Amino acid sequence: MPHNPFPPRIRTVAVVAPAGPAASEAVASGCRQLQAWGLDVKVMPHVFTGADESYLAAPAAARRCDLEQCWREPDIDLVLCARGGFGTAHLLPHLDWTLLRSRPLPLIGYSDITALQLAMYRHRCGPLLAAPMCGRLGDLAADDYTCYYYARALADQVTAEPVCLPGGGDRMTVLQEGTAAGPLLAVNLAVAATLCGTPFMPDLSGHILLVEDVGEAVYRLDRFLTQLAQCGVLGGLAGLVFGSFRDCGTAPERERLFRRIGAAVSGPVLTGFPFGHTFPLAAVRQGRRAVIEADGRIRL
């Protein structure tokens, strides 16, 4: 049986769909994997409800109800998002932030779940993990590297160590030299840019920002990064790290863009962190302290 990355304190996992509709077999496969690890699973009532808009899992009120109900049920130990897509932003103006702060219930997701995690981070909810969701747990179980970092992100206490690259080594490519230390936040670039100017974007001053995306033309990456720069987000960072950008133009195009936009950051700029819409990946505990060393190592 694959190694169980969930600590003993996690016994019951609730599956929610705050954004797009999840394929029933993908969710079923993820639930089977959780059960194989000895966990109890509760799929919340509206995961498969559907909506008039085919790209949403359910109407916003139903998605909000499922999410908030997890905090009301004391036997639920962790909230696992089914998938990303789009729609999480619909929930943000209506969530009961006092309820979501009422107990430290972990929430796992990334991609469109970036919107929810950034808003929760601003409201001091969590812990929050940028990590594979329910539909990818089969891939997670088969990947020792990803499973190791998933377990580290779930652990409340870890000893800082350099993040290893899947192919060996632990040095990212340095685009702009420097050292930095601060809380690390991992976000989807496009989704983070859409939160600029809203009351749900946290103050990222002094943070190390890790960005990733998938299937975006380079000019669109430029648009999102320019938005972050012109809103003052990049200028306040301690450091900027680029993760995986699968199907986002060519590597030389991306590097030219990342070098140019990195000039807005006063600290170091690195690329090559193993996080994004591809496996293997290193899960991130949002807000956990990270250190960027001059040689391109990131200690987390």
Q: Which residues are catalytic?
A: 111, 212, 277
Determine the Cα–Cα distance for residues 122 and 72; give it in Å rounded to an integer: 21
Q: β-strand 239-246 against 269-271: which pairing, if any?
A: parallel
Q: Which residue has the tokens 């956990």?
A: 288
Which H or E run contains 174?
A: strand 173-176
Please say whether the beta carbons of 142 and 279 come within 8 A.
no
Say if residues 212 and 276 touch (Cβ distance below 8 Å).
Answer: yes
DSSP assigned state of 112: G
Quote helix, strand, coil % in the chain, to nearest 5. Answer: 35, 20, 45
Tell me the helices (H) and strands (E) count for the chain, helix number first: 9, 13
Residue 164 DSSP SS3: coil
Helix (H, G, I), strand (E, B) or coil at 36: helix
Separation of alpha carbons 253 and 98, rounded Å: 44
Distance CA(55)–CA(85), nearest Å, equals 7
d(CA 14, CA 12): 7
**Going by C-beta distance under 8 Å and a sequence separation of 6 or more, which residues neighbour residue 118?**
185, 187, 192, 195, 200, 201, 202
Query: If 0-12 CB within 10 Å is exposed, 13-18 middle and 19+ buried, where does residue 279 land?
Result: middle
